[in-house]
Amino acid sequence: MWIYEKKLQYPVRVDGCNVKLAKYLITQYGGPDGELGAALRYLNQRYTMPTGKTKALLTDIGTEEFAHLEIIATMVYKLLKDATVEQLKKEGLGSHYADHDRAPFYMDASGNPWTATYIQTKGEPIADLTEDMAAEQKARVTYDYLINLSDDPGVIDALRFLREREVVHFQRFGEALNDVQCFLNEKKFY
Amino acid sequence: MHTDRRRMDMLKEIQEYEFTALDLNLYLDTHPGDNRALEQFNQVSCELAKKVEKYVECYGPLLNYGFSGGFSSHWRWVEEPWPWEM
């Protein structure tokens, strides 16, 4: 069961229309290291986790990733909503306009659609939690690159928040991995 | 879309309390025996509930499916702006 909360996790303010920036940001919506993949990866891995702690953590981080997905969508929505067709064409979103108008869509920065091949569930907690730690680092680096590409102070502020969350999630997954390793070692002695 | 200042300030306070609760929540998932963190979580959660109650009174429900209480006169869930429009 999920409940929607009618607010953003973190406030989003943008300076104005910025098609080029929206085109870059969309990768964290539906790209290889984006928030959609993160949410779906963690929520799908929950079912085969061995401990209450790991089931809770994957549920809670997976849910937070949906809040991040909404933050990215909000940035893209605000950056594109006043763009003219001319601007969209000039900044490389003419083909996006043809398929989606100004709506966000699950794709990377080059327009490739999201695919389930971005994520994996091995059904084995050590393998899955290790993938999750790597995923958080890749997302963190993507935010570093997006901050470097950004010229909008409001967007940079929100990206910094999202980047920091990747660091915290990495830390928590590391703790969970340690815990599972102890749990599995203990089990062997019985 | 114009959103009034008071509303944004109230929302920001909720965002701050909720973020603190969320982050403590994740910490407690991997440290369920940390009683100091648990105590902090309980305090923040209590404050958060008060802030949310005030906001909901003025601006309508934050949660769907009945988790934000009932409605006295009309169905406020459909009211704009939605989060991405604020």
Instruction: Give pLDDT, residue A60.
Output: 98
Q: What CA–CA distances, in Å, run from A115 to A39, A51, A98?
A: 13, 29, 21
**Is A29 inside a domain boundary?**
yes
Instruction: Give pLDDT, residue B2.
Output: 57
Range of the domain at A83: 19-112+121-188
Mean pLDDT of B5-31: 97
Distance CA A132, CA A57 (A): 12
Distance CA A134, CA A138 (A): 6
Pick from B11, B29, B32: CB nearest A7 = B11
What is the ipTM, given to two decimal places?
0.95
* CATH assignment at residue A136: 1.20.1260.10
Its pTM stands at 0.96
**Is A7 inside a domain boundary?**
no
pLDDT along chain A (190 residues), means of 10: 98 96 98 98 98 98 98 98 98 96 97 98 98 98 98 98 98 97 82
> Total domain count for chain A?
1
**Is A12 inside a domain boundary?**
no
Q: Which residues of A127-160 are buried (b: 16+ CB within 10 A; e: fewer)?
A: ebbebbbebbebbbebbeebeebbebebbeebbe
Best A1, A4, A7 residue to mutate vs chain B (most B CBs within 10 Å): A7
Q: How many CB pairs under 8 A join A and B?
A: 69
Question: Quick check: A60 and B26 CB within 8 A?
Answer: yes
Instruction: Give pLDDT, residue A43.
Output: 98
Distance CA A18, CA A83 (A): 8
**Is A1 inside a domain boundary?**
no
> Total domain count for chain B?
1
Closest approach of B78 to chain A, Cα-based (Å): 11
